[in-house]
Amino acid sequence: MARKITYQQAINEALDQEMARDASVIIMGEDNAGGAGAPGEEDAWGGVLGVTKGLFHKYPGRVLDTPISESGYVGAAVGAACNGLRPVAELMFVDFIGVCFDQIYNQAAKFRYMFGGKAQTPVVIRAMYGAGFRAAAQHSQCLYNMFTHIPGLKVVVPSNPYDAKGLLIQSIRDNDPVIFLEHKVLYTMEGDVPEESYTVPFGEANVVREGDDVTIVAFGRMVNQALLAAAALQKQGIHCEVIDPRTTSPLDEDTILESVEKTGRLVVVDESTPRCSMASDIAGLVAQKAFGALKAPIEPVTAPHVPVPFSDALEDLYVPSPAAVEAAVIRVKEYR
């Protein structure tokens, strides 16, 4: 366990180990290798940020570059999943969902139900999400809430390298369609990752930090913002419990509710815009199922209801900061 690798390397390793283990696993996406049909190097990019680098030569014929045609190849991944493969399709930026959503939410997500339980669609859609790259409104969104809304989809938002590897392996082995969302700011995050293969189960929240005063539920990159806030608050004598649900669908409701039963105070940190978000979803859940335990109003900490701005001056304001989390915790702690 002593080995530290990055979030990006952890994802590459998960793909590598599953491709080695199971010949039915293929990957496809725009420039997953890069250089197809061009006179220069093959596997020139290995994905736009290099996440799939090296797999093209290691698994001949199983790393497919696609035309820029998300509806075509995402749908092809879904169809291939119905015919015995376990495809992992990369939607470069989750923002591109707009041109291929039908293949995911009307096709893949609904096959099993519409077909009376006689179909299974073991497809994984990987996509980058999140702000912080100065990539502006069409390359920075945080849309896991949209997928979470759809019955038939599972939605995974790893917050660290260990979870990224184990959750991706679980995603590939899972027999349902899985949306696997990678925060681009986390790609360089290092952490302890076992060399061996392992799976992290869906629907099992990680209690990242224990505390009795305030529960903070956070998703993806926001887990780290929450931990920074919790460490600062510890020095002020406020002990936060930080919960990373790891998957938004299925959602580990019990761990959240048990924690709020203990603390009576809840802050939800969500990089999405606030309306119909995971923040409002968790707030609704807790208001309904742990109402009696609440000692203060639930505080959501989210992006504002605006598109992601370009200028660093604005984008830095857009992303929920550790300071914003800290302030929210203090508000719920001091509420009388």
Partner 1 sequence: MTTTLNRESLLKAYRSMRTIREFEERVHTDFATGEIPGFVHLYAGEEASATGVCMHLTGTDYIASTHRGHGHCIAKGVDPVGMMAEIWGKATGTCKGKGGSMHIADLSVGMLGANGIVGGGGPLICGTALAAKIRGTKDVGVCFFGDGASNQGTIFEAMNLAAVWKLPAIFVAENNGYAEATSSKYSVPCENIADRAPAFGMPGVIVDGFDFFAVHQAAGEAIKRAREGGGPTLLEVKLSRYYGHFEGDQQTYRAPGEVQRLRETKDCLLQFRRRVTADGEITNEQLDAIDREVKTLIDDSVVRAKADPKPAAAELLTDVYVSY
Partner 2 sequence: MSAIHTLTMPKWGLSMQEGKVNGWLKKLGDTIAVGEEIVEVESEKIAGAVEASVAGVLRRQSAGEGDVLPVGGLLGIVADADVADAEIDAAVADFMANFTPATGDEEDAGPSPEKIEVGGKKLRYLKLGVGGSERGREVGEPMILIHGFGGDLNNWLFNHAALAVDREVYALDLPGHGESSKDVGEGSLGALAAAVTGFMDAVGIESAHLVGHSMGGAVSLTVAAAAPERVRSLTLIASAGLGEDINGAYIDGFVAAGDRRALKPLLTELFADPALVTRQLVDDMLKYKRLEGVGDALRTLAGSLFENGRQATVLRETAARFGKPVLVIWGADDRIIPAAHAQGLTAPVLVEVLPKQGHMLQMEAANEVNRLIGRFLG
Q: Which stretch binds partner 2 (CB under 8 A): 28-36, 194-202, 221-229, 267-275?
A: 194-202
Q: What's the CA gap between 79 and 123, in Å, rounded? A: 9
Q: Residue 29 or 161: which CB sits closer to partner 1?
A: 29
Residue 220 partner contact from partner 1, partner 2, none using kind-dependent CB cut-offs of 5 to 8 Å: none
Binding of residue 317 to partner 2 (CB under 8 A): no
Q: What's the CA gap between 217 and 258, in Å, rounded? A: 12
Binding of residue 313 to partner 2 (CB under 8 A): no
Q: Residue 63 or 329: which CB sits closer to partner 1?
A: 63
Q: Give catalytic status of residue 305 as yes or no.
A: no
Cis omega (within 30 of 0) on the bond before 250? yes
Binding of residue 85 to partner 1 (CB under 8 A): yes
Element (H, E) at 199: none
Binding of residue 254 to partner 2 (CB under 8 A): yes
Binding of residue 151 to partner 1 (CB under 8 A): yes
Q: How far is CA 302 from CA 140, 163, 269, 276, in A?
A: 14, 23, 6, 11
C-alpha closest to that of 325 among 209, 247, 246: 209
Q: Which stretch binds partner 2 (CB under 8 A): 124-132, 193-201, 303-311, 316-324?
A: 193-201
Q: What's the CA gap between 320 and 241, in Å, rounded? A: 18
> How many other C-beta atoms lie within 10 A of the C-beta of residue 306?
11
Question: Which token pair is 23?
Answer: 């010949």
Considering the complex, what minimum distance in angstroms separates the CB of residue 35 from partner 2?
33
Binding of residue 152 to partner 1 (CB under 8 A): yes
What single letter denotes the amino acid at residue 265? R
Q: Which residues contact 128 (CB under 8 A, 6 or more apart)?
A: 49, 92, 93, 94, 181, 182, 183, 184
Per-residue x/- mask for partner 2, residues 1 to 20, rule CB under 8 A?
xx------------------
Write out the binding residues for partner 2, residues 139-168 only, by CB under 8 A: 162, 166
Question: Which token pair is 247?
Answer: 């998957």
Residue 198 partner contact from partner 1, partner 2, none using kind-dependent CB cut-offs of 5 to 8 Å: partner 2
Binding of residue 212 to partner 2 (CB under 8 A): no
User: Which string of b and e fits 222-261 if b means at least 16 CB within 10 Å?
Assistant: bbbbbbebbebbeeeebbbbbbbbbbbbebbbebbbbbbe
Binding of residue 71 to partner 1 (CB under 8 A): yes
Do residues 185 and 133 touch, judged by C-beta distance below 8 A?
yes
What single letter denotes the amino acid at residue 241? E
Q: Which stretch binds partner 1 (CB under 8 A): 47-55, 56-64, 230-238, 272-280?
A: 56-64
Q: Which stretch binds partner 1 (CB under 8 A): 4-12, 61-69, 137-145, 262-270?
A: 61-69
23: exposed, middle or buried (C-beta count within 10 Å: 0-12, 13-18, 19+)? exposed
Binding of residue 245 to partner 2 (CB under 8 A): no
Catalytic residue numbers, as ranges: 139
Q: Which residues bind partner 2 (CB under 8 A)?
A: 1-2, 162, 166, 192, 194, 196-201, 204, 206-207, 209-210, 234, 254-255
Q: Which residues bind partner 1 (CB under 8 A)?
A: 26, 61-62, 64, 66-67, 69, 71-85, 87, 99, 102-103, 106-107, 110-120, 151-152, 154, 174-176, 203, 250
